[in-house]
Structure 1
Amino acid sequence: MSLLHLQLPLSQFKSLSLSTPFLHGTSSAILTKPSTANHHRHRHTYLPPIRAMRSLQGRVICTTNDKTVNVEVTRLAPHPKYKRRVRKKKKFQAHDPENQFQIGDLVQLEKCKPISKKKTFLAIPVPKRTAAKPKESQDLGLSLESDSASPV
């Protein structure tokens, strides 16, 4: 017995609802007859894509402008033909509100709202690296022959 031969009332199928909002590319709002009042009330608001905050590190190369520093950021990128990693440099202008940076300082650039036409970064100081000093030879409590050598 096939489904065509079954005589079921259509009212049973109209009362069914979908368990998920989208089924095979159609939504439940499309399947039911939308009213104009509900249609405007259930607008979907789409959020913009989330982008990671851009953060760069570079060295200050110029401090002549007031509250502005020029920072040179160096990165390694593969050469298009030779596939060898080469240094690529780019200059950015960053906001330095207290004029605290000198030429040669290492700074971190944080993306912020545009301050001027070219200035969209804020300069933040990077703590200086403390070089690990090589440990001196540890004293094991044993005297060396060269220390105890006496003239004969």
Structure 2
Amino acid sequence: MSLTSSLLHPLHSLKLSTAGAGAGATSSTFLHGTTPLSLLAKPASASVPALRSPVISLPPIRAMRSLQGRVVCATSDKTVAVEVTRLAPHPKYKRRVRKKKKYQAHDPDNRFKVGDFVQLEKSRPISKTKTFIAVPVAPRNARAASKSGGDGEGELGLPLESQGQQQA
């Protein structure tokens, strides 16, 4: 017992000087190993972030994924293979190159044939490899043909010279 009391005795007489005071300033004593609360207070700059509301991290909102591609295989029942082409930079040469990937898409009515352009809409998994549903899209070249009128007229809707001679 006397050993522990002899070790604790010097702790009772420790004195803590204040930060702003010089060598002859007053000091406060430790009472049974505790310090005054004024010395334990955090600086004002450290308490400012504690006043902010906690940041709640929400998962990112992901848009519905949709791709466009061309049907390359339609032999399976209710399934079509669609090839999607995208442009991506080459890792070494930084030139844009075409990258192709094939997806299996659900076609419940078997209405798509090879060469049709379709849009793939993300859906629940239908099978191990099918997570898209095929939706019809007008082919890229058909839009230009529909704008011209299809009756052999030019871009402005006027008959071509060769057609005018045939009618006369």
Shorter-chain TM-score category? 0.5 to 0.7
Q: Does 1:90 align with 2:110?
A: no
SS at match of 1:103: coil
| Cross-structure match for 2:14 | none
CA, structure 1 residues 101+26, in 2 after alignment: closer, same or farther (shift >3 Å)? same
Of 96, 102, 106, which residue of structure 1 is paired with 2:117? Answer: 106
SS at match of 2:81: strand
Gaps of 5+ in 2: 1-46, 149-153, 160-168
Whose helix fraction is larger, Structure 1's or Structure 2's?
Answer: 2
| Cross-structure match for 1:81 | 92
* Stretch of structure 1 that moved more, 93-102 or 79-88: 79-88
Counterparts of 1:122 and 1:85 in 2: how far apart (Å)? Answer: 29
RMSD: 2.8
Rg: which structure is higher? 2
SS at match of 2:102: strand
Report how many aligned residue pairs link the two structures: 103
* Structure 1 residue 125 displacement after superposition: 0.2
CA, structure 1 residues 98+81, in 2 after alignment: closer, same or farther (shift >3 Å)? same
After superposition, the C-alpha distances for 1:58-92 in whole angstroms (9 at most, x for unaligned) are 00000111110000000111111112111100000
CA, structure 1 residues 97+81, in 2 after alignment: closer, same or farther (shift >3 Å)? same
CA, structure 1 residues 137+81, in 2 after alignment: closer, same or farther (shift >3 Å)? same
Of 60, 71, 87, which residue of structure 2 is paired with 1:60? Answer: 71
Q: Which has the higher contact order (CA 8 A, sep 6+)?
A: 1
After superposition, the C-alpha distances for 1:11-57 in whole angstroms (9 at most, x for unaligned) are xxxxxxxxxxxx84436999xxxxxxxxxxxxxx9754311110100
